[in-house]
Amino acid sequence: MAQSRINAEFLQSELQQLIEKHYPAVKTAGFRLLPVAGLTGESWKICSPAGDLLARHQSFDKRIAGADRRRESAILRHVARQKSGPCVRLYSPPWLIVDWIEGTPPTEQTFAMPATQQALSRTLVRLHQLPPSGYRLDLQHQFARYWQHIDRRRLTPRWLRLHRKMMSQIQPAPLKLALVHMDIHAGNVLHTPDGLRLIDWEYAADADVALELAAIVRGNGWSTPQQHVFLREYINAGGYQDISLLQQQVNRWIPWVDYLMLMWFEVRWQQTGEHKYREWAQPLRP
């Protein structure tokens, strides 16, 4: 805990110098730095009369988990005209500074309700209609990276067999290759006066739209009826039109999503020691 606090204080000082260098108007108006999501120092809200911003740091742990601020910056610029995400204000490694989006996140319960699914589907369809960003998601490359950073004491023979299987089999051919967010849950969705907005784009990349949909239904633990409603809403919003093929493709991606989630939980457990990650990983462990 003490080390985390020291690290956060160092990053706060570094960020303050960055703001003073690149944002004289903010410096003149005065600003406060408020940590977002704990004491790690990875994200800070910059509060100023000149406008609120969000600063996101590229830490070693975040890179291992799959985040890349350079890619995130490029993708946010790619989607800027849609206004589905925050506007990039500065990318100066290791910092990415974007607009702070004011909005209200849905609750876990309202997130799964038809009204939110309709709004989310419309946002996803607009996103999936953009040309690819040029940053292709390679799940097996990500699995290999995660494999180097998990607790070896937690491995089992069945897990070893599953890993070899996931690393050797061919990924499903995309129904449609598009830019996908890949981390959509209630905490990363905001209701704003301008409509639904998405935040935390650090895992966004180009992949099959059905992989995105599989990640949403599995990551949020939606029931089969909720999945069917969501896929129907996605089609009604103008997404991929063949419901049968779309459902089949989502089902093909589900084992990949489950393994991605397992590996990510295990890596975060190893990085943080927070028991919630072990608990989330347990149902997915082979």
Instruction: Tell me the C-alpha distance between 127 and 65, whole Å.
Output: 23
pLDDT of res. 1: 43
β-strand pairing of 53-57 with 95-99? antiparallel
Instruction: Tell me the C-alpha distance between 53 and 45, whole Å.
Output: 6
* Mean pLDDT, residues 123-132 taken together: 95
Q: What is the DSSP secondary structure assignment for residue 185, as one 8-state letter?
A: S
pLDDT digits (tens, 9 = 90+) for 34-52: 888 754 558 899 998 878 9
% of the chain exceeding 70 in pLDDT: 96
- Cα four-point dihedral sign 235, 239, 241, 243: negative
User: Of 65, 5, 71, nearest to 41 (Cα)?
Assistant: 5
More confident residue, 43 or 146: 146
How does residue 95 score in pLDDT terms, banded at 50, 70 and 90? Answer: very high
User: Of 221, 171, 188, 204, nearest to 71 (Cα)?
Assistant: 204
- Cα four-point dihedral sign 145, 148, 94, 219: positive
Domains annotated on the chain, with CATH? 2-99 (3.30.200.20), 108-284 (3.90.1200.10)
β-strand pairing of 32-35 with 205-208? unpaired
Q: What is the tally of helices (H) and strands (E) in the chain?
A: 12, 9
- Alpha carbons within 13 angstroms on the beta-carbon side of residue 192 total 18
Q: What is the mean pLDDT of the chain?
A: 91
- Cα four-point dihedral sign 207, 60, 198, 71: negative
Instruction: Tell me the C-alpha distance between 236 and 231, whole Å.
Output: 9
Instruction: Tell me the C-alpha distance between 254 and 232, whole Å.
Output: 18
Query: Mean pLDDT lowest for which of 26-40, 58-72, 115-129, 153-167?
Result: 26-40
User: Going along 84-219, which residue ranges are E strands?
Assistant: 88-92, 95-99, 177-180, 189-192, 195-198, 205-208
Cis peptide before 94 (omega within 30 of 0): yes
| Coil, strand or helix at 198 | strand
How does residue 71 score in pLDDT terms, banded at 50, 70 and 90? Answer: very high
At which residue do the structure tokens 């069945």 appear?
158
pLDDT of res. 151: 92
Does residue 3 have a pLDDT over 70?
no
Assigned token pair, 204:
């966004």
pLDDT digits (tens, 9 = 90+) for 259-286: 999 999 999 999 989 999 999 999 999 8
pLDDT of res. 38: 52
Q: How would DSSP label each residue in 211-249?
A: HHHHHHHHHTT--HHHHHHHHHHHHHTTS---HHHHHHH
* Mean pLDDT, residues 181-204 taken together: 94
Please state whether the predicted TM-score (pTM) of the whole model is above 0.85. Answer: yes
